[in-house]
Structure 1
Amino acid sequence: MGLLAGCGSKTEKKASETTDLKPIKVAASATPHSEILEKAKEILAKKGWDLQVTVFNDYVQPNEVVESGAFDANYFQHVPYMNSYNEEKGTHLVDAGDIHYEPFGIYPGTKKSLKDLAKGDVIAVPNDTTNEARALLLLQDNGVITLKDGAGLEATVNDIKDNPYGIKIEELEAAQVSRVVKEVAFVVLNGNYALEAGFSVKKDAIAYEKSDSEAAKTYVNIIAVKKGNENSEGIKALVDVLKSDEVKKFINDKYDGAVIPFQ
C-alpha cells in the first residue's frame, strides 16, 4: 500500500475446477495484491485449498464483504487504515498476517549522493500526513535532518529539529513529486509512484525503508479477517503460504524492490 496500493476491474473470480478443494474467498486490490495471491493459489491447490480471488477497485467494499461474511479475508490495506475503518464503520476487522510493504525511497534529482547536499538544496516530499512523515523519517535515518523527539509517524516539516545541510523541504501532492525530479536535488517517493516514474527501488534508490523501520512495521500490508476467524484453518493456510519462501521469491523477482516481503 502507498497509503494503499492497487486498482483494477471489479470482479475477477475463478471457480474451483476441483470440487474436493476447500474454498478460501479473498477480496484484493489488483496490484500487487491479486498478483501475489495468484501465485499463492498454485501452492494452496496442492494443499487442498481453492483460493478464489476477487479484485476490487475501491477500499470500502473489500472490508464490507469480509465484515458481512461473504468473503473470508481481504488483502489490500495496512493496520492504520483498518483501525480507522473499524472506528468509523463499527466493523470488527483484525490483522491475520503481515505480508509485504512498499518502501519509500530517496531518489536522485540534480544530485546523485547525499554527501553532495549543500545549503539551499531542495528535496521534494509528499504533502499528505502519512506519506510526509515517512519521507521525513527516511531522511532522518540517512542523516539529512533530525526530527523532534516523539514526532514519529505524524511528523511534518514543523517537527524538524536540526537541518545541518540547510536544505529546503518542498511539499507536493504525492503524484506530483516524481515530476520535479529534474528541478530538485532529491525526491522521496513511495513504491507505486516510483514504479510509475520508471524507478527501480533496488537500482535507483539512494536509500529506502528497511523491514525493521518504524514505517515498514506500521504500514505493512496485511491479510484482514473478521475477528474470530484469524485462527481458522483456511486463513492460517493462506498466511503460511503468503509468508513462504516460494512466495517471497516471487515477490522479490517480480517487483524488483518496489514490494518487499515483510520478515
Structure 2
Amino acid sequence: MSLRRIVVASAALTLAAGLAACSSSEGGDGTTLRIAASSTPHVEILEQIENSGALGDYDLDIVEITGEVDANELLEAGDVDANYFQHEPYLIDWQKQKGVDNLVAVADVHLEPIGLYSDKIDSLDRIEDGDTIAVPRDTTNFARALYLLESAGLLEMDVPFEDADLSVVTESNIKSNPKNLNIVGIERAQIARQLGDAQITAAVINSNYALEAGLTPAEDAIFVEEAEDNPFANLLVVRDENENDAVVVALAEALESPETAAWIEENYSGSVVPVHSTN
C-alpha cells in the first residue's frame, strides 16, 4: 500500500506540472483513487485513513489543493477521481452555475464551523457603528456568513435560515443592519491574511483556512457557528459514473467510520466536528 501526495497551487504552471505528475501515477487501475483535497483538515484526515490500513489494498493519490484551484473543475474534467473540500450547498450552487449535474456526494464526513475572528477586538459588543466585516465572497459561503452575523445579533435577514436558498442570498436580503456594518467580500482563502488590515475590524473565516493560518476556531473565534442541525458538512464527491466503484465505497466507509470520527475529535478539539457518531 502506498500514498502519494502532490501540491497543486493556483499558479497555472504549478497546476499543469502537478497534474502531469499525477497523470503518471497508477491511478485508473481500479485500486488507486486520485483525490483532490484541501490541506487542513482534509488531507490530514485522508492520510490518517491511508496510514491506518482502513483501505486494505486500495491506495490514495492525493492532490493537495492550495490557493483558489477549483477542485470541482478538476473532477468534472476527469483529472481526478474524487474531491474532498466542500459542503452540499456549495456543490449544488457550483453545478447550477456550471450547468452540470454529474457530481455526487457519497459520504458526509465532518463539519468546520465558521467563525468571526479579529485581532482588534475580543467580543461582539466591541463592534462599533460603521465597522467593516470581511466575509467569503463565493455565493453560498457569503450567505452562510450573513446568517452567522445574524446569529451573532449583528444583522437581521429577511428570510429565516432554514427557508433560505443560499444560492441566491445577497446583501439585499439584509432586513436590518443596526450598526451600519460594511460587509466586504474577499476570496475565502485570503480572508485570514486580511485580519491585520487596519480597515477590517473582524472577518468571517472558514475553519479550514483558520486552522491553516494558525488559529484555533474553538478558542480564537469571538463567535462560532452552531454545529447542531448544520447543513454544511464536508463531503466526499465523485462523478456519478464512479459512485459504486469499490475503491470509492471503501473510502466513503472509512471516512464515515467511528474510528475516523474518534480521530477527528481527538485531533481537532472541536474546531472540526465529525458528522457521524464515534459509537
What TM-score does the superposition give when structure 1 sets the normalisation length?
A: 0.73
Structure 1: distance between partners of 2:172 and 2:140: 15
Structure 2: distance between partners of 1:163 and 1:86: 30
Equivalences for 1:79-228 in 2 at 5 Å?
A: 79-83=88-92, 84-85=94-95, 88=98, 90=100, 92-149=102-159, 151-153=164-166, 154-164=168-178, 166-174=179-187, 175-176=190-191, 178-181=193-196, 183-212=199-228, 216-217=230-231, 219-227=232-240
Task: Quote the offset at 1:46 in angstroms.
Answer: 5.3
Task: Quote the offset at 1:169 in angstroms.
Answer: 2.5
Report the number of matched residues: 244
Give yes or no for contact 1:34–1:53 (8 Å, CA) kept in 2: no
Show the counterpart of 1:260.
Answer: 273
Q: 1:74 to 1:159 in 2, by over 3 A?
A: closer
Residue 246 of structure 1 is aligned with which of 247, 250, 259? Answer: 259
Task: Quote the offset at 1:204 in angstroms.
Answer: 0.2
The amino acid of 1:31's aligned partner reads S
Show the counterpart of 1:55.
Answer: 63
Give yes or no for contact 1:122–1:170 (8 Å, CA) kept in 2: yes
1:165-201: CA deviation from partner (whole Å, max 9, x where unpaired): x241331423256424554443222224423543210
Give yes or no for contact 1:98–1:222 (8 Å, CA) kept in 2: yes
Helix, strand or coil at the partner of 1:29: strand
What RMSD, in angstroms, separates the aligned Cα atoms of the two structures? Answer: 3.5
Give yes or no for contact 1:178–1:194 (8 Å, CA) kept in 2: no
Q: Percent identity?
A: 32
Q: 1:127 to 1:233 in 2, by over 3 A?
A: closer
Task: Quote the offset at 1:148 in angstroms.
Answer: 0.4
1:75-134: CA deviation from partner (whole Å, max 9, x where unpaired): 344434544348736562211111123332111343211134443444333344333211
Give yes or no for contact 1:7–1:56 (8 Å, CA) kept in 2: yes
Task: Quote the offset at 1:49 in angstroms.
Answer: 3.4
1:33-69: CA deviation from partner (whole Å, max 9, x where unpaired): 33321211234x3563323223164422233338xxx
Q: 1:119 to 1:160 in 2, by over 3 A?
A: same
What TM-score does the superposition give when structure 2 sets the normalisation length?
A: 0.70
Give yes or no for contact 1:100–1:259 (8 Å, CA) kept in 2: yes
The amino acid of 1:198's aligned partner reads G
Helix, strand or coil at the partner of 2:108: strand
Residue 27 (structure 1) aligned with residue 35 (structure 2): yes
Deviates more, 1:148-157 or 1:103-112: 148-157
Structure 1: distance between partners of 2:97 and 2:133: 35
Show the counterpart of 1:42.
Answer: 51
Give yes or no for contact 2:84–2:235 (8 Å, CA) kept in 1: yes
Structure 2: distance between partners of 1:131 and 1:36: 23
Unaligned runs of 5+ in 2: 1-6, 10-17
Helix, strand or coil at the partner of 1:65: coil
Q: 1:87 to 1:138 in 2, by over 3 A?
A: closer
